[in-house]
Amino acid sequence: MSHPLGIWSAGVLIGLRTLRKEPVLGLKRLALPVSYWRSREFAYVWGQLQLGSGARVLDLGSPKDLAVMLARHRGYEVAATDILPEAISLSRRYAMAQGLDGRGPGSVHSEVQDGRALTYPDGSFDAAYSVSVLEHIPDHGDEAAMHELIRVVKPGGVVVVTVPYDRKYRETFVDGPVYERKPVGGEPLFFERHYDAAALADRLLGSEVVDVVDLSYWGEGVVRTEALLNWLGPVALPLSPLQAFFSTLSLRQVGGGPDGNGRGRGVGGGRRHVMAAFFTLRRR
């Protein structure tokens, strides 16, 4: 399933298996088996995790359908974590509806954790991943979470991460609550950062106890499908089940890939629009 359409089919299976015990959740998953970017990000994580059945894997804050896919189809024991109790409750409902809730090979155990200060001992997991999460942690929380991901993985294990990327570093602030944080005094809250090459290297890739085994950049070409879907708004809702197909057509690797030291060849130019960085680290 290292292809968006394989991830899409696994998302459909989640919906079908959830229907009997949680019909509303099952229908929601069938309406959107996997979203535009998640289909490509999940496929990347799937391809980078080459572990034997029964491996212990940590999910830090990612959308929890990937945890279910890894437990069912790979036989991993996945610890699915999030800072939001409601996200963990939803994760547990999906896992229970499919008979995957629990501990041991082929199961998903969902629990509240703060990624900046995980409670797991050093070397607790064979691998860890975090899909589109670190960019939302304010201040230097992304660096703290990256340190924690590396700490809890065994020597030789991998950490797989996806984050937004742009040619120039930028941050976005919004009015209103952001995840677990509430506004104080009417001030806008930090929402996310888009990394550039320098910020990525300084904040996420700088650990001395890991090797960068893959770093690739992803985005769109001439057709900006994501912007088009956002512009269409509610009109695009009937197309939701097909988002993985749009991802297959539009999202491409626009730079990076191994160059001998694993750090990638840089971002391509021309009409390619870089939007995200995917990377894999191996702990020494």
- Residue 140 is predicted with a pLDDT of 97
Residues 4-283: name the CATH superfamily.
Answer: Vaccinia Virus protein VP39 (3.40.50.150)
Nearest to 12 by CA among 4, 237, 45, 21: 4
Residue 138 amino acid letter: P
Backbone Cα Rg of the chain: 18
Mind listing the pLDDT tens digit for each residue in 97-126?
A: 999 999 999 999 999 999 999 999 999 999
Res. 259: pLDDT tops 70 = no
Q: Are strands 125-131 and 107-112 parallel, antiparallel or unpaired?
A: unpaired
Residue 152's CB is within 10 A of a number of other CB atoms, namely: 23
Which pLDDT score is estimated for 268? 59
Q: What is the pLDDT of residue 66?
A: 97
pLDDT band at 265 (very low <50, low <70, confident <90, very high): low
Q: How far apart are the first and last CA of the chain?
A: 28
Phi, psi of 22 (to 5 degrees): -135, 75
Q: Using the predicted structure, report yes or no on whether residue 156 has a pLDDT greater than 60.
A: yes
Rounded Cα–Cα distance for residues 284 and 282 (Å): 6
Assess contact for 245 and 204: CB atoms under 8 A.
no
CA distance 150 to 146: 6
| Of 110-124, 129-143, 202-216, 232-246, the least confident | 232-246
| Amino acid letter, 93 | R
